[in-house]
A and B are shown apart, each in its own frame.
Chain A
């Protein structure tokens, strides 16, 4: 018979308590801010709680999976995701001018979310397979593994997600040891080609790019979001206006305040001090990710853990940068805080992998 203590040990054995603490704090922040952002709508908060429970279960399962399972799943998941993307391109539902969703009868799914995990997983798997004989060609192939789904997502068009997946893939390439010379060379080539590419664009495409760079050009559209977001953050001051007292939030000035702009709600009500605390928690989680990455035992796990950690940082940075007006508005939620089931699931899946990478290695050692 297994007693209660043993059961508890078995449940926790593959969960990293330190990471769990950081993640738990962020999820707590999420529920608290959401209550305010929805004007005290407990139903929505409960909805987010259900999202968390589902994602947490998925995380637990992945954390308990031995690493070779993870490796073996790389290729099928990647191909599955790629097929879904092609499916979206051919049969996808159009919403808000983009073809991102695939209707599979019972639900609609957004395959680009899956690729946030699948692409780095596939690339890390590929590098592991060719570890002994790495040549330039392998980097080229890995880049191709990244670029194919990227192109499909970019033409949906979903530039925001494409950029994020591009970043997660680049992290794998970088950590896998892509030579500095090539990176510098590509940067120079891109800079040199830019004027040429610019001249090839249509007027309306140029207009869109300029608008990304200077939102005040589009004060009625996305620029409006940025302006209201900045007012919310700035008016929060050092101590904030107090929980449930944000005027920007509760007088309907903030758009998308449960999703992409939830940080503005938090910042308005908890102020600079609150921001310090939130940044602190993010640094804590990211730092733990770095420790796990540094101690990972195989090439595959190092690359995977590094990419997950750096991607998590990127989401957080891009979202907060966007709300505070230093980055253009792209649809990126604040990780683990914004309302939403899909992003919650992919994020916690990633953390599940981190935990699996960490705990299974330890078991091997002892």
Chain B
């Protein structure tokens, strides 16, 4: 019985299976019929149409490159623009003897040895099928001369093109960055992002700075034109065209004039300055000195200029503001003071400073910068006169992990998340970090030096400026950013107002104490009194010194005995006006010695311009270039 049922089921199953198989066959035949009909349509009905396209004319799809978006400062001053000009290009794969062709060309247009060198470099780096520029910015006369002789140079063409230009040159080099010719690595990245087809016809791509970080906004959408071309490959008639969409213009939070003032205030010094609006995180100035001329890079830099930039001991290509990591030195003290207050240290707690600090049970002396010490020091005074001994003790009392966890709230040891690629995170050490990184336990002595911002501590100027802005804004942190608005076509929603990313909820009396102390730093008796004398607004600040080389126990730092590149770095952080800060900044002067004497005057000039509109009298006639080369 059971067997029969199974058998029956089996037959039924086969029946249903074959039914479904027949259905599949029907589906297959139907689909193939559709295909057949398509062939009839293409090859019989529309044959003549396609015949025409294929035989008498050929369709070429020509990409139409969009105009790159402009970069403007907050007041509409142009920082990166386009202008049109002529370029002489060689399609390298169509030319047999490049050398001979270039030699002949040089009888018509002015080709310098450096043009040849640059061309060779491009040739080595570029995609195989490119046509490469041998000369840019031809004069009208040169264009005319070449046009008359064009028949002699197959594969050589004059092209009208938009060139990128950075009117501020060196002054905005680390901020705006530059564009350069697309190389193999860029192509790989574009393919990975699946946007390679949008770059057909594009020769340039953002390489550093905001040009790189906002590449997607700035580039625009490539259009295309379908044209009929004759047998020689020349366009005869445009069939259809989709217009390119220009890249979006960027409006920055930056104030170009302020940037210029800050840049010039450095004079011959190397260093960095970042100024931020504490109430919203707008970056107002972003300087890294020395800079370089970004215009050199656009069409491939020649090897002489490149070697000079690349081998200079001043490393002008290094973006110090974003990527330079330095010990914060004494600028960390206001933040340390807040940490102390948070963990219960009374403001009135007073130490007696004999000029050094010793750990309990040890005879090792950690020296204060002032021999003989500062006498009685409470928290207020510890900031004003920058007492090291006070912070040796405070750090030891708190322990490194508490210091680490409180300082992280100001962003120490973390990337700020600024909208520029390549940021580094600095370092705010902890026991865990040292074990992980160095596989060593944390020593009590490590905490002592951490208390005054030396030892393992590292910050970037951007980071310190951001932390200062957070302090100035009473512990309410904003993410620093460069771009205020992106002008989209069609217009999208306006950029949302920046929102605070973190509120530390610092008690008003604590923040008030620290701010008053920082103001006193700029008053007579404070470490930055000289630079801030006579300011008609209330200015707060803190000086700092970052050691470049360590001093042995008992050895004395004498600047003149040390080679320049090993001298201390000078720091100054500041915000103003104290009652309602509208600008906060950090200045670093490499090998500048004391913060009060080299860094603070730079800050003063920036504040004077920003708050009073006061333009400093121009520095001595020597321009920045000479400044960058000084020894």
Contacts and interface: CB of A to CB of B under 8 A. Distances in A.
B616 to A, nearest CB: 47
B420 to A, nearest CB: 23
A310 B20 CA distance: 12
B44 A238 contact: yes
A96 B192 CA distance: 6
Interface of A: 94, 96-97, 171, 174-175, 177, 208, 218-221, 224, 227, 230-238, 247-248, 251, 253, 267, 271-272, 275-276, 279, 282-283, 286, 290, 293-294, 299, 302, 306, 310, 313, 317, 320-321, 324-326
Contacts, number: 122
7 contacts: A177-B16, A219-B242, A220-B61, A231-B59, A271-B43, A272-B39, A324-B35
A235 B31 contact: no
Given A220-B197, A279-B35, A283-B32, A233 B54 contact: no
A177 B29 CA distance: 21
Contacts of A248: 54
B61 A224 contact: yes
Interface stretch (B45-53, B438-446, B457-465, B501-509): B45-53
Nearest to B31: A317
Contact of B32 (A96, A97, A279, A299): A279
Contacts of B421: none
Nearest to A302: B17
A174 B20 contact: yes
Contact of A235 (B40, B54, B191): B54
Contacts of B44: 237-238, 272
Given A97-B193, A220-B197, A279-B36, A234 B43 contact: yes
Contacts of B40: 272
B192 A97 contact: yes
Interface of A is mostly: helix
B59 A177 contact: no
Contact of B222 (A220, A272, A276, A299): A220
B42 interface: yes
Contact of B42 (A94, A208, A253, A324): A324
A253 B55 CA distance: 12
B489 to A, nearest CB: 16
A217 to B, nearest CB: 9
A313 B28 contact: yes
Contacts of B226: 219
Interface string B15-45: 0111011001100110110111011101110
A290 to B, nearest CB: 6
Nearest to B35: A320
B200 interface: yes
B171 interface: no
Given A220-B197, A272-B39, A294-B21, A234 B28 contact: no
B109 to A, nearest CB: 32
A279 B35 CA distance: 9
A219 B43 contact: no
B20 A220 contact: no
A247 B55 CA distance: 7
A233 B20 contact: no
Interface in B417-443: none
A206 B140 CA distance: 47
A286 B25 CA distance: 9
B54 A231 contact: yes
A253 B58 contact: yes
Given A247-B55, A248-B54, A97 B194 contact: yes
A218 B55 contact: no
A54 to B, nearest CB: 29
A234 B49 CA distance: 8
B17 A230 contact: no
B226 to A, nearest CB: 7
B30 to A, nearest CB: 11
Contacts of A231: 50, 53-54, 59
A88 to B, nearest CB: 16
A175 B21 contact: yes
By Cβ-Cβ distance, the 4 closest A-B pairs, closest first, are A234-B50, A221-B197, A235-B54, A234-B42
